[in-house]
């Protein structure tokens, strides 16, 4: 019996040792770590510590309507330089754009962006002697005055490759030597700081509004009375959207929503919309014949303050005039968090 135990243990040892050896190897076959007998000098590399996407960042910025102004998010590209093993001296690294490092798969369907699209806020870092990574970070931001970002089409996706270089005779990893930043632009027509000062209200008799969940075209939203209302629903289904038909292509610059007041002791202003999507179309078809695919997005808007009643109107103002016949409103959420939306009046301004 003892012989059998010794024999079993002996037979299991090679497999155990092989498993331990495999678990201790660092990225076998990768370019970061050398094979047996090779140089073990430090190799510098970039690693965002994410498996997918590796050293890749994606950001969307906005253009304010047809103006030359950009809305740049508070988003920066930041990363450190790391070493495979410590160095016996300080190593300094610099940052540069090298779009030759954009992989072929990305280069095919992306537009390469130059340094003119960015603000290179910190382009030098140092890995101190005995350390494995830099204390400082490279820092890159988008340039809100960049013509390159301004002229990027919505149908295009931009990309740039940021790579590291050093004059300290340190090897740079062949594989992990760059960070890709992908950029997309969308045109936003809603001015969150806009007002209706100086605008003229369109005559309510010049447009029709569907009566929400009750169907048909109703006058409740354009009768000037705070005692009537229409109910809609938070929904992705177009048959639940608010639909405004201007009867012919018309220029407008703002939409105004009036909250409801109290009804039978209940404050219906709690069921006011919080976030909406606004769609527009120039189709000459009537309200119930125009299809969703004939619309384009004019923008999103968010109500910043819960209204207390009809006096707290919400003005949604656009960057410049929008020429449409149809306006559809999709209710994404409500102040109350409920699925019901109650509105008192809807006004358009030009």
pLDDT in tens, 274-318: 999 999 999 999 999 999 999 999 989 999 999 998 999 999 999
Q: For 240-277, what is each residue's pLDDT tens digit?
A: 999 999 999 999 999 999 998 877 767 788 889 999 99
pTM above 0.85, yes or no: no
Query: Per the structure block, which two tokens stand in for 127?
Result: 């890995």
Closest-CA residue to 139 (of 158, 162, 156): 162
Tell me what the mean pLDDT of segment 202-226 comes to. 77
Of the pLDDT bands very low, low, confident and very high (cuts 50, 70, 90), residue 37 is: low
What pLDDT shows up at residue 269?
84
- Segment 83-106, tens digit of pLDDT: 999 999 999 999 999 999 999 999
Spatial separation of the C-alpha atoms in residues 169 and 143, rounded to whole Å: 33
50-87 burial, b for 16+ CB within 10 Å, e for fewer? eeeeebebebebbbbbeeeebebeeebbebbbbbbeeb
Domains and CATH numbers, the chain: 30-188 (2.60.40.1510), 204-349 (2.60.120.260)
Split at pLDDT 50, 70, 90, the class of 38 is low
Those residues with Cβ within 8 angstroms of residue 344's Cβ, 6 or more apart along the chain or in another chain: 221, 226, 228, 229, 258, 259, 260, 261, 310
Q: What is the pLDDT of residue 28?
A: 34
């Amino acid at each position: 019996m003892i012989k059998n135990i010794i024999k079993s243990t002996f037979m299991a040892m090679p497999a155990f040792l092989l498993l331990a050896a495999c678990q201790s190897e660092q990225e076998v076959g990768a370019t970061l770590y050398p094979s047996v007998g090779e140089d073990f000098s430090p190799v510098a590399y970039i690693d965002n510590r994410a498996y997918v996407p590796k050293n890749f960042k994606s950001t969307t910025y906005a253009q304010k309507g047809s103006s030359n102004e950009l809305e740049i998010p508070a988003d920066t590209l930041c990363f450190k330089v790391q070493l495979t093993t410590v160095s016996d001296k300080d190593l300094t690294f610099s940052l540069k754009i090298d779009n030759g490092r954009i992989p072929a798969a990305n280069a095919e369907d992306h537009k390469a962006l130059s340094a003119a699209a960015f603000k290179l806020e910190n382009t030098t870092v140092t890995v101190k002697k005995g350390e494995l990574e830099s204390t400082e970070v490279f820092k890159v931001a988008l340039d809100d005055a960049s013509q390159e970002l301004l002229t990027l089409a919505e149908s295009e996706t931009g990309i740039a490759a940021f790579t590291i270089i050093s004059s300290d005779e340190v090897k740079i990893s062949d594989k992990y030597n760059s960070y890709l930043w992908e950029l997309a632009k969308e045109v936003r027509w809603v001015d969150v700081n806009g007002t209706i000062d100086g605008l003229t209200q369109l005559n309510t008799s010049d447009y029709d509004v569907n009566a929400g969940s009750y169907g048909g075209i109703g006058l409740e939203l354009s009768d000037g009375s705070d005692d009537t209302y229409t109910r809609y629903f938070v929904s992705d289904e177009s048959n639940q959207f608010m639909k405004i038909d201007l009867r012919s292509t018309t220029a407008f610059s703002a939409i105004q929503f009036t909250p409801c007041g109290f009804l039978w002791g209940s404050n219906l202003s709690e069921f006011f919309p919080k976030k909406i999507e606004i769609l527009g179309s120039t189709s000459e078809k009537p309200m119930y014949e125009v299809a969703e695919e004939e619309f384009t997005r004019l923008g999103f808007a968010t109500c910043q303050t819960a209204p207390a009643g009809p006096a707290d109107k919400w003005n949604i103002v656009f960057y410049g005039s929008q020429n449409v016949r149809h306006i559809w409103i999709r209710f994404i959420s409500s102040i109350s968090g409920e699925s019901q939306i109650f509105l008192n009046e809807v006004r358009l301004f030009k």
